[in-house]
Structures are given as structure tokens and as C-alpha cells.
Amino acid sequence: MKVSCALYLEVESEQELLTLDWDSLPQPVMVLGGGSNLLFTKDFPGTVLHIGLCHAERTEESWTLGAGVVFDDFCAQAAAEGLWGPENLSLIPGECGASAVQNIGAYGVEVKDILADIRAYDRVEGRFVHIDPASCGYGYRTSRFKTEWKGRYIITAVTYRLSKEPRPVLDYGGIRKAMEGKTLTPLGIRDTIIGIRREKLPDPAVTGSAGSFFCNPVVPEEVFHRIEGNPPHYEVEGGIKIPAAWLIEQCGFKGARLGGAQVYPRQPLVIVNATGEASPQEIIGLEKQVIDAVREKFGITLHPEVEHV
């Protein structure tokens, strides 16, 4: 299903944001990154704004990149130059501006761990500001950009911290075992993670998906201890994190279909458009079936990571 918006604007300079007549734009205004984490359920009545700034400024220990830079291009270049920081985040789709909104994460690293500064246009004050990442309220796949700041700030550039000193993060997702016998370099870890991801996740160029559809739930200890089957888990701040994929698989939904929508057989955390013609209603219907089944079996409510528009 194809959807449309009332107006699409590609912004290629900060000056354009200063001169926009915001009140004349079809409302609401939504800033779109790569769109990899969105599910459009119908036509959008307002303005879709894409920040296409792709500039780069570099020092020895930090890179400032325009919001429109493809995030994995940054990961690839840093690893190729032997710089530590984003290697565990390799192959995550999307753009740099969105990385700071979503607090993207994978294999034991979140982007907040390497953020140094965020430059944004403040629609309330009508000026550009620098935002300290420490003030952004980062949590698991969330930030103040997604809650009380939603619609206020338009990110134009992100500064990431990099290091020449080795800082490998290996104790997640089988990375340490996969790296046995290999030299620990950012490029080696990046290549290993890409291999792991490609084994488990669909290629979005071939099979449509929005990546990880559900957040991994964090539950209190007493809830975790009631779960049978010895689920994989990680102790985190606020409780115990359980892979949503394990919960979904235990409910028998691995490979389940509703029309053209399917729970991906290799990784049940992902819902794919298996036929290329799945409707939003089929995807949402399958999502609801999964949530209901996990709640019924485990008493845990899954929440979508994918934003529904």
C-alpha cells in the first residue's frame, strides 16, 4: 500500500529552516529520517520534512555529521580508520539525526554512549541551539525528543565521540565467541556483527520491514522468576530484560502469517511484508495477535518499537 502526504520538503541548509513560513505549512509537521522505523497506516495530512544536511567536520576524537548522513556509512568509515565507538551499531538502518532521537542500540551499545553534542533548530525560540546529550533523558529506545520535546527540536547535526584506544564491547549476542582467534579491531568487530545481523535479519532491499518491531521488555524480578523455560535475560537498570523474540517464539508465532504480513522465521522480533503487498491493517492485526498471545501466556505486554503514523 502506498501512502502520500500533503507536502514533502527536503531541507538542504540550516538557513532554510530559519526562513520557512511554518504557519503556512500543512499541519502537522513531521521530521522524517530514513523512515526505517515508521509504519504509515494511512495518508499523512501534514508536511513531511526531511533534513538532507550531509556535511562532516572531524577532529581526532570526534566527528560532527549532518543529520542526513547515513548512520552506517559513519560506522563503516570510523571502523576503516581504526576508530572505536560505533562498531557495535553497524548495519542499523537510518540517518544520524534519527540516531539521536531514537537512541539506537545493538550488541551492548547505545548511541547515547558515544554522543558528544546535538545541534538543533528550536521551533519555539526560532533559533539554533546546542543540546547536551546528558539532558536528553535517554533510555531504552527513547529520549525526550520522542516525548515532551516532540515537534520542538529539529536536529541538524550530531557530534559523536571516537577513540583511538581499544574499547571493545563483546559480552552480548555471541560476539566474543564469534571473535575467537580474530584480531580485535573496530573493523573486525564490525564485520562480525554484520555477519550476525545478516544471518538473522531480512535484507530490507529484498523484503520490506521496519526492523525490530517490538521493544525487549524489562520486567521486575518477581515477574521474571514466574516465567518457565529458563529464558535468556540481561540484568539492566530497572529490572531484567527478556528478548521479545524468545517470548514470541514460545507462543508459536515464529513464521506466523496474516495475509501478506509475517513474523520473520529467522528472527521473530521482526514483522515483514512477506508478499510485498501486505496492508497496514494486516501488519497491525498480526502485531495485535502477537501482543495478545504474549500477554496471555506470560503476563507481559510487548510495546512496538516501530512508530505508527
Whether the Cβ atoms of residue 72 and residue 91 lie closer than 8 Å to each other: yes
Q: Is 141 a known active-site residue?
A: yes
Q: Is 119 a known active-site residue?
A: no
What are phi and psi for residue 207, nearest 5 degrees?
-125, 120
Angle at 66 between CA 61 and CA 68, to 5 degrees: 135
What are phi and psi for residue 36, nearest 5 degrees?
-75, -10
Q: Is 212 a known active-site residue?
A: yes
**Active-site pick, 141, 144, 161, 295:** 141
Burial of 52 (0-12, 13-18, 19+ CB in 10 A): middle
What are phi and psi for residue 156, nearest 5 degrees?
-115, -25
Question: In angstroms, what is the C-alpha Rg of the chain?
Answer: 20
**Active-site pick, 209, 212, 282, 287:** 212
Cite the active site residues: 141, 212, 305
